[in-house]
Amino acid sequence: MHNDAKSTSHDAIAQIDSDGRLRHLLTLDGLPPNRITALLDRAEAFRSTSAGVSKLLAGRTVVNLFFEPSTRTRTSFDLAAQRLGALVINFDVASSSTSKGETLLDTVHTLEAMHCDAFVVRHKESGTPATISRHLHSHAAVLNAGDGNHAHPTQGLLDALTLRRHRPDFSTLRVVICGDIRHSRVARSDVHALHALGAGEIRLCASAELLPDADEFPRCRIFHNFDEAIAGADVAIMLRLQKERMQAAAIPSESDYFTRYGLSAARLQRARTDCLVMHPGPINRGVEIAADVADGPQSLILEQVTNGVFVRMAVLAELLAADSTTPLRA
Amino acid sequence: MHNDAKSTSHDAIAQIDSDGRLRHLLTLDGLPPNRITALLDRAEAFRSTSAGVSKLLAGRTVVNLFFEPSTRTRTSFDLAAQRLGALVINFDVASSSTSKGETLLDTVHTLEAMHCDAFVVRHKESGTPATISRHLHSHAAVLNAGDGNHAHPTQGLLDALTLRRHRPDFSTLRVVICGDIRHSRVARSDVHALHALGAGEIRLCASAELLPDADEFPRCRIFHNFDEAIAGADVAIMLRLQKERMQAAAIPSESDYFTRYGLSAARLQRARTDCLVMHPGPINRGVEIAADVADGPQSLILEQVTNGVFVRMAVLAELLAADSTTPLRA
Amino acid sequence: MHNDAKSTSHDAIAQIDSDGRLRHLLTLDGLPPNRITALLDRAEAFRSTSAGVSKLLAGRTVVNLFFEPSTRTRTSFDLAAQRLGALVINFDVASSSTSKGETLLDTVHTLEAMHCDAFVVRHKESGTPATISRHLHSHAAVLNAGDGNHAHPTQGLLDALTLRRHRPDFSTLRVVICGDIRHSRVARSDVHALHALGAGEIRLCASAELLPDADEFPRCRIFHNFDEAIAGADVAIMLRLQKERMQAAAIPSESDYFTRYGLSAARLQRARTDCLVMHPGPINRGVEIAADVADGPQSLILEQVTNGVFVRMAVLAELLAADSTTPLRA
């Protein structure tokens, strides 16, 4: 975790090139608020286009390089790229040369040599997208689609966009994030986006074992008790329980987890009446969130999915289209 | 099986919307003959178009949601959708969130939230496509690509189209369907299409264990002896033997199955001289059909495959193109 | 191996149709030099086109039929076909009907019946692409993407193109190919291309167990000692070590292989100062090639990858575009 924290300031610099252009999207940590706002505005513009498809990235190639399975996020990036007219290669890592002993960087350099313009990377190790970005031979862009516990910047952006559509003024918002904060790249990217956009108060709630180190989020309020954390909240962001973490957190069962940290309808009533409910999905019904809350009128879960495609279109357009006058083999 | 039979009348109603438009294709059971004819005519029109590709579904997204492996049918739908200009997502269920505990309906709702316009669904449980169609949040269409023993409507349509090209008048036809009728969604959809189009006589042939319940097909003639069933037939539709059924059917071996229910050249001579031979594929050569019959001049097996793509183009066009003025996020 | 050698002359004839047109690409063995040169020129033309994408194959369908895993080569063909505007089907053999007992040829005929225009075939058995080409029902083209020990013609072409860009005159070149020549389709296709284009001298270097039969390459010089083989060479083509061959070759370890047959910086100094280094990838760093040599200024490894896409575009264009006036269902 400390390595992650230290690496972010480097990432924040590395993803901006010497002309001040966004060259990669590795993290939201340190990304200036006006850049985040510009990406959200661009996503909003795609959302309001009736056609929803364009040829902006015609002739460009986007590679989905997923070292962890994630059909949901991969499909969202796939649709975003194809709806912009890009050609998409879903590089199946399990059956690829990396399983023949080729190194990750050799795989990336090989794909660059085939003139791929963007790498959408998911990896269980924090820092892999940044490592790739530092070793590129070409002008390709790297989009972090989730690395270890470190960052999931497009998730942070889509959560910010979803929330902004319902609560344009972040300054008075009290946002509670509940679940396995310690191991959650979603929580980190959400916190970075919310801070950047001026959220009034961010509360992090988990058992002691699942909270981050004390100094990682100095501006957040820490809670162990969800009933207290959610009191008066405007937004509740529930994290997915990785079931293999239950033992470490001294949680004997899913129902016990739900009792302590799940969002039930009763518990939601402790928040403000119009408290919004978010979750990055896929949801475990009855574990971190009650089914009736997930499907209820305060839930934005499916809106998050919708906005995810538009946010990824915006990021791809920002990273690739500014470069669109460059010939294919630049 | 009884559940299937009961569910079909509901499906027949459910797939037509209140404006009388075909909204889903769940089953051919109860679909009016003029609708079936219109779909076949539309497939024929695609077939006669020299280019074979169009932009009719440009900007639309079709998801292949296959919970059973079927490269053949999935590829046919994939080609049909892409040749109409649609964007196709092959949603790999094995590695998807459904394997992380997400429910089927949550997966569907997530894909709907990404603005997918059609779901092509194959599932081992009868009724899954209908269940999905009842729980949609959007105007998406559901195409049943085979569910349990229940229905495989595009197979029924492609078989009807293939036969119609060779025998335009169904009223005098004697059609024999031989194999594991009891567990065959192909047989059911073929019977529904053939009845709707006025087939003169439908004969079902299988061992007692592999025949449907006595009351399921009151208008068909039932045979246990294939030599008798094929006598004088105009068309023989052979079903694929699911090898795991052999034991239940008291069939000790593949060669024993072939002796009793396989279509040999000698047995084919008991039918009319110009008897046509059909099979949904993939074929087990020497099990349900002799290799020389499968490859012989009376075989329409590969024509069925060709017509399959055109039928699926017709169904996709019917379900989606009428809706083509709707913006992406309707 | 003898069967392979005998089959090549037949393949060389089979891939040219009665009008003298290249109909399939099965092998470079016996392909006239002017045809090889024409393919390289066409690849060069694609390379120099700034856009890099075209609609030349719009409306055509290319099937990747890979019976061995190879993400690298499959991706290269996928990109090549899509950048020419073709629709690409990646037919997943592992989960396909071939795993349900359907024969290979039934799979091919089924895909032909769906109007696929080209089959890109990789198979562990030598001769499979040729077998497919002999049994086609349509005018589809077969592109050998590597069959057993027999041939990998697009690799031969891309190696020739890469070398020609740096050394236009082949007549004075001394080329050494080092590694498991005996089992290498890359080595065979490289030798065929280099001979056709008039290479001055080809040296084959391996331990006795990994050399081909004495009479297979009568025009090549055979070496067992890599230090001797590389002396004064203009080009060193290193082959990937298939680790399962080590035992047969009496090689106890990877480091022992590197010591005897690996290309180290020290060994490279025995060659000409400007000796070029090539490898078909994926590379085993520290086994057949030192990391600093692979990444060094004499290495053309990534250029080979780049040229691979252009060569495959050229071959697809040559095989399919001449036929482009044919309607889809020809």
pLDDT tens digits for C130-147?
999 999 999 999 999 999
Q: B308 to chain C: which residues are within 8 Å by CB?
A: 114
Question: Phi and psi for A157 in degrees, rounded to 5?
Answer: -70, -45
Chains that touch C (3 or more CB pairs under 8 A): A, B
Which of A88-97, B161-170, C250-259 has the highest mean predicted lDDT (pLDDT)? B161-170
Separation of CA B277 from chain center: 17
Q: B303 to chain C: which residues are within 8 Å by CB?
A: 113
Can you tell me whether residue C90 is helix, strand or coil? strand
Report whether pLDDT(B216) > 90.
yes
CB contact under 8 A, B306 and C329: yes
Which residue in chain B is spatially nearest to C89 when comparing CA positions? B75
A-B Cβ pairs (cutoff 8 Å, strict): 70
Compute how many other C-beta atoms are within 10 angstroms of the C-beta atom of residue A179: 31
B58 lies within 8 A of chain C by CB: no
Burial of A189: CB neighbours in 10 Å, binned 0-12, 13-18, 19+: buried
A82 lies within 8 A of chain B by CB: yes
CB contact under 8 A, C114 and B282: no
Q: Using CB atoms, pick whichever of B61, B87, B96 lies closest to residue A71.
A: B96
Cis ω on the peptide bond leading into residue A282 (within 30° of 0)? yes
Q: Record the tokens describing residue A44, joined without a space.
A: 């909003």
Report whether pLDDT(A51) > 60.
no
Q: Are B149 and B211 in contact (CB under 8 A)?
A: no
Q: Are A109 and A52 in contact (CB under 8 A)?
A: no
Burial B23-52 (b: 16+ CB within 10 A, else e): bbbbbbbbbeeebbeebbebbbebbeeeeb
Q: Which residue has the tokens 């059971």?
A: B29
**Domain identity same for C299 and C179:** yes
C167 located within any domain: yes
Q: Using CB atoms, pick whichever of B87, B102, B113 lies closest to residue A302.
A: B113
B180 lies within 8 A of chain C by CB: no
pLDDT at B95 (0 to 100): 55
pLDDT at A159 (0 to 100): 98
**Domain identity same for A124 and A190:** no
Which residue in chain B is spatially nearest to C59 when comparing CA positions? B53
C214 located within any domain: yes
Q: Are A305 and A73 in contact (CB under 8 A)?
A: no
Q: C76 to chain A: which residues are within 8 Å by CB?
A: 114
Compute how many other C-beta atoms are within 10 angstroms of the C-beta atom of residue A71: 25
Question: Phi and psi for A280 in degrees, rounded to 5?
Answer: -75, -15
CB contact under 8 A, B281 and C89: no
The single-letter code of the amino acid at C317 is A
Mean pLDDT of A87-98: 74
Cis ω on the peptide bond leading into residue C282 (within 30° of 0)? yes
A78 lies within 8 A of chain B by CB: yes
Question: Residue B192 and residue B216: Cα distance in Å, rounded?
Answer: 12
pLDDT at B321 (0 to 100): 80
Question: Residue B196 and residue A92: Cα distance in Å, rounded?
Answer: 45
Q: How many domains is chain A partitioned into structurally?
A: 2
C142 located within any domain: yes
- Flag residues of chain C having pLDDT under 70: 1-9, 50-52, 94-101, 322-330
pLDDT, tens only, B194-210: 999 999 999 999 999 99
Can you tell me whether residue A328 is helix, strand or coil? coil
Q: C97 to chain B: which residues are within 8 Å by CB?
A: 70-72, 281-282
pLDDT at C259 (0 to 100): 96
Q: B79 to chain C: which residues are within 8 Å by CB?
A: 61, 87, 89, 114-115
pLDDT at B94 (0 to 100): 62
Q: Using CB atoms, pick whichever of A89, A102, A328 lies closest to residue C78.
A: A89
A330 located within any domain: no
C329 located within any domain: no
Residue A4's pLDDT band (cuts 50, 70, 90)? very low
Question: Residue B37 and residue B18: Cα distance in Å, rounded?
Answer: 21
Mean pLDDT of B176-195: 97
Contacts of B155 (CB under 8 A, 6+ apart): B146, B185, B186, B189, B190, B280, B308
C 308-327 near B (Cβ less than 8 A): 327
Mean pLDDT of B105-122: 96
How much is the CA Rg of chain A, to the nearest whole Å? 19
Q: Which residue has the tokens 């047959």?
A: C261
pLDDT at B70 (0 to 100): 84
Q: Enter the pTM of the model.
A: 0.93
Which residue in chain C is spatially nearest to B305 when comparing CA positions? C113
Q: Are B79 and C61 in contact (CB under 8 A)?
A: yes
C330 located within any domain: no
Contacts of C176 (CB under 8 A, 6+ apart): C202, C203, C204, C205, C223, C229, C230, C233, C235, C236, C237, C271
The ipTM estimated for the assembled molecules is 0.93
Q: Which residue has the tokens 């167990």?
A: C209
Q: Are B201 and B243 in contact (CB under 8 A)?
A: no
**Domain identity same for A297 and A158:** yes
> Which is nearest to A62 in space by CA: A42, A82, A46?
A82
Q: Using CB atoms, pick whichever of C106, C328, C329 lies closest to residue B282.
A: C106
**Domain identity same for B215 and B112:** no
> Which is nearest to B158 in space by CA: C113, C327, C108, C326?
C113
Q: Record the tokens describing residue A191, joined without a space.
A: 């916190």
**Domain identity same for C120 and C141:** yes
Query: Residue B297's domain spans which residues?
Result: 153-304
B266 lies within 8 A of chain C by CB: no
Contacts of C211 (CB under 8 A, 6+ apart): C181, C182, C204, C222, C224
CA–CA min distance A307, chain B (Å): 8
Question: Residue C18 and residue C20: Cα distance in Å, rounded?
Answer: 5
pLDDT, tens only, A102-144: 789 999 999 999 999 999 999 999 999 999 999 999 999 999 9
**Domain identity same for A200 and A119:** no
Residue B61's pLDDT band (cuts 50, 70, 90)? very high
Separation of CA C114 from chain center: 28
pLDDT, tens only, B259-302: 999 999 999 999 999 999 999 999 999 999 999 999 999 999 99
Q: Record the tokens describing residue B239, joined without a space.
A: 């079903």
Q: Using CB atoms, pick whichever of B59, B89, B102 lies closest to residue A75.
A: B89
A69 located within any domain: yes
CB contact under 8 A, A97 and C53: no
**Domain identity same for A35 and A169:** no
**Domain identity same for C94 and C13:** yes
Q: Which residue has the tokens 């290479």?
A: C199
Q: Which residue has the tokens 């094995």?
A: B94
Report whether pLDDT(B24) > 80.
yes
Residue B13's pLDDT band (cuts 50, 70, 90)? confident
* Strand ranges, E, within C166-294: 174-178, 201-205, 221-223, 235-238, 276-278
Query: Is B148 or A330 the better-scoring residue by pLDDT?
Result: B148
**Domain identity same for A159 and A44:** no
Among the ranges given (A98-112, A220-234, A250-264, B212-226), the one the predictor scored with the smallest mean pLDDT? A98-112
**Domain identity same for A124 and A185:** no
| Mean pLDDT, rounded, of chain A | 90
Question: Residue A18 and residue A15: Cα distance in Å, rounded?
Answer: 10
Compute how many other C-beta atoms are within 10 angstroms of the C-beta atom of residue B65: 30
A31 located within any domain: yes
Orientation of helix C104-113 relative to helix B301-320, angle to 10° = 50
CATH of the domain at B182: 3.40.50.1370
pLDDT, tens only, A144-196: 999 999 999 999 999 999 999 999 999 999 999 999 999 999 999 999 999 99
CA-to-CA separations, C86 to B75, C53, C80, C117, in angstroms, rounded: 15, 11, 9, 10
Ramachandran bin of C220, using left for φ above 0, alpha for ψ from -120 to 50, beta for the remaining angles: beta
Query: Is B8 or C58 the better-scoring residue by pLDDT?
Result: C58
A328 lies within 8 A of chain C by CB: yes
> Which is nearest to A93 in space by CA: A66, A131, A130, A118?
A66
Chains that touch B (3 or more CB pairs under 8 A): A, C
Q: Are B194 and B186 in contact (CB under 8 A)?
A: no
Chains that touch A (3 or more CB pairs under 8 A): B, C
Contacts of A59 (CB under 8 A, 6+ apart): A85, A87, A328, C51, C52, C53
Report whether pLDDT(B327) > 90.
no
pLDDT at A265 (0 to 100): 98
**Domain identity same for A206 and A300:** yes
How much is the CA Rg of chain B, to the nearest whole Å? 19
**Domain identity same for A196 and A292:** yes
